Structures are given as C-alpha cells and as structure tokens.
Amino acid sequence: MDIAQVIGLALVTTVFLMILRQERPVMAVLLSLAFGVIIFIAMMDKLSAIIDIMKEMTQRAGINNFFLGTLLKIMGVAYLGEFAAVICQDAGEQAVAKKIEFAAKIIIAVLALPILVAILESLLELMPG
C-alpha cells in the first residue's frame, strides 16, 4: 500500500466517520479502530524491511544484537503507545490517552537505560585516571 492508497482510504474513512459520529458514535470508534488496524497490517511489510536492514547493518558493524533488540523494543513501545493513545482520543478519552503516552515514555526510558549505561561505561574507559 503506497501513500496515495493510504490517503484515499483515510479520506473515505473520514467521511464515514463524520457521518457516523452524529448518528452512532460507538460505530464511529469501531470504524476508526478498524482503519488503524488495516493501516498497521498494511505497513507490516515495510516495517519488516526496515528491521531486516537494521539487522544487516548491525551484523556488518559488529554491534551486539542486544542493542538492536532494545532499539526495536523502544520503537515498538513508541508506535503502539501512540496508536493506543490516538484510539483513546478518538473515543473522547483524552485523559486516558495522556496516561498511555506517559506510560510509554517511562517504559522507553527504562528500555533505554542499559544503552545509556553502556555508553557511559565506554566514556569512562576512555577518560584517563
């Protein structure tokens, strides 16, 4: 699915959402959720290509796979957190969305901590005495 198809599907979905929100708000939330899932599934092959390239570059650079795994987890948390927050916003639950965003940020910070420690340890090894 290329960007033109995504935009076309988004515009059609938006028109339906505008109509449904007035008549059947619950159905509008479900349609919005379905649209998000369809886009996510359609982008899986592109995400897979990104991951494959990152794996190849990591192997070529001789970098520990732990760092790549951590980076992929961080990306996953960011994307899923954003996806869930937008769904909550679509349902009119901005407070819940903000809490999801907060939790995702904390989880990302925790996941990034080992990488930060490794960088700091490398810097300490380079510094004299």
Q: What is the pLDDT of residue 92?
A: 85
pLDDT band for 129, please (50, 70, 90 cuts). low
31 and 89 in a single domain? The answer is no
80 and 107 in a single domain? The answer is yes
65 and 36 in a single domain? The answer is no
- For residue 59, the enclosing domain spans 45-129
86 and 117 in a single domain? The answer is yes
Query: What's the structural domain count of the chain?
Result: 2
Summarize pLDDT for 37-59 with one digit per residue, the tens.
899 899 999 989 998 999 999 99
- Secondary structure (3-state) at 2: coil
86 and 64 in a single domain? The answer is yes
pLDDT band for 90, please (50, 70, 90 cuts). confident
d(CA 17, CA 28): 5
DSSP 62: T
84 and 107 in a single domain? The answer is yes
DSSP 64: -
Q: What is the pLDDT of residue 105?
A: 97
d(CA 48, CA 94): 31
CA angle 64, 68, 73 (to 5 degrees): 140
99 and 70 in a single domain? The answer is yes
- When pLDDT is averaged across residues 77-92 and rounded to a whole number, the result is 90
